[in-house]
Structure 1
Amino acid sequence: MAGVRQFDEDSAFEQALEVFRAKGYRATSMLDLAKSTGVQRGSLYNAYGDKEEIFSRVFERYADRFVADARVALNKAGLREALVEFFVFAIRSITQGSPARGCLSTKIAVEIASESPRQQELVKKMLDELEDVLVGVLQSPEARAQLVIPPRQAARIIVTMTRGIAVMERVYSDPKRLRQTASALIDTMVRPG
């Protein structure tokens, strides 16, 4: 039947995500996507038009899931515990796999965001949503009493640290070092209990 996709889009997008994570945007070809998804190139072109459209849809799903998982990680009783759990989640997300898969949003921000307004907006939207989730946690009266800086400023520093951690993971491949760095940041932002 014309117009009906003959493949499982969820499965295809998961496979495409792994290719973009492994190769980045530029080095990923439509042939790579066809091979990984098991969907003919022609079918991918007919369904989505081009690689950028596939990437955009895949990235939106990735970003939504990442922000939702961050929200769950931050759902702890105490501020320090919430931030520790958040960084555990962030570090685990970039160190999974063999070799470690890294951070797709940071990879895209560095690789091509300045060349593609659409992709820059996708990354910006994800980071803004992550910042808003953090602000939601940091602006409670209990959290404000423990923070040494205003909630929005703290959230921006934390989001920036997640990007720095992603870069340092690529250089050192040492999750323990990343956790120690995150812990040091928490110590500088949160007053001792």
Structure 2
Amino acid sequence: MVGIRQFNEDETLDRALELFWRKGYGATSMPELAQATGVLRGSLYNAYGGKEGLFLAVFSRYQEGFLAAAGETLKAVDTREALKAFFSFAIASMKSGEAARGCLSTKTAVDENASAEPIREALRGMVDGLEHLLAERLNQASEPLALPAPEAARLLVTLTRGIVVIERLYPDAERLQRTADALVDLIVVATQGR
């Protein structure tokens, strides 16, 4: 029937996510997406309009899930522990998969073939969403902060992107976590008794 998708969209988007995440946007072709998803290329074009449309659908789901999970990590009462848990989650996410796959948003941001404005807008939405989550949590902190919450949030998000790059050179989760913990300790001012 025309207009009705003849495939399981959730499974299709999950499989496409894995391929985009593993290979990157530019290195992924429509024939590979059709093979990975088990959906004919024509059906993918009809449903999403092409690779960019499929990527945007995949990324929207990824962003929603990532931000929801990141928000959960920030619920600890102690701000320092909440931020360290956030970084632990981010590091675990980039190291997941058969081979560590890095960060989908950072991998896409540095991909010369992913420079179309709709993709850039989606990536900015992810960064803005993370900054908002972190700033909101930092605004609730009972501990003193070394700088205003919005600036601290921007710095924390910037480190998440940097950790992705360093992980390619030093794939040691403990080292990455120690780096993140050091920044958290600089932002959340230690009070007496700590």
TM-score, normalising length: structure 2: 0.95
Unaligned runs of 5+ residues in structure 2 are none
Alignment of 1:9-24 (within 5 A): 9-24=9-24
Which of the residues 139, 146, 149 maps onto 2:147?
149
Any conservation in 2 of the 1:113–1:119 contact (CA below 8 Å)? no
1:187 Cα offset (Å) = 1.3
Q: Distance in 1 between matches of 2:118 and 2:46?
A: 21
State the distance in 1 between where 2:170 and 2:81 align: 26
- Counterpart for residue 124 of structure 1: 124
**Distance in 2, Cα, partners of 1:114 & 1:3:** 28
Q: Write the letter of the residue equivalent to 1:171.
A: L
Q: How many residues align?
A: 191
Q: Which residue of 1 aligns with 2:80?
A: 80
Please report the RMSD computed on the Cα atoms of aligned residues, expressed in angstroms: 1.2
The reply on whether 1:110 has 2:100 as its aligned counterpart is no
Secondary structure of the corresponding residue to residue 7 of structure 2: coil
Tell me if the contact between 1:113 and 1:120 (Cα under 8 Å) persists in the aligned partners. no
- How far does the alpha carbon of each residue in 1:64-107 deviate from its partner, in whole angstroms, 9 at most, with x for none? 11111110010111101101110110100001122101100000
Q: Give the superposition deviation at 1:114.
A: 7.0
Deviations 1:115-172 (A, max 9, x none): 2111111000111011011111001251xx4211110010000000000011111121
Task: Name the structure with the higher helix share.
Answer: 1
Q: Is the 8 A contact 2:70 2:86 kept in 1?
A: yes
Counterpart code for 2:31: L
Residues 140 and 191 (structure 1), Cα distance of their counterparts in 2 relative to 1, 3 Å cut? same
Structure-2 separation of matches of 1:147 and 1:136: 13
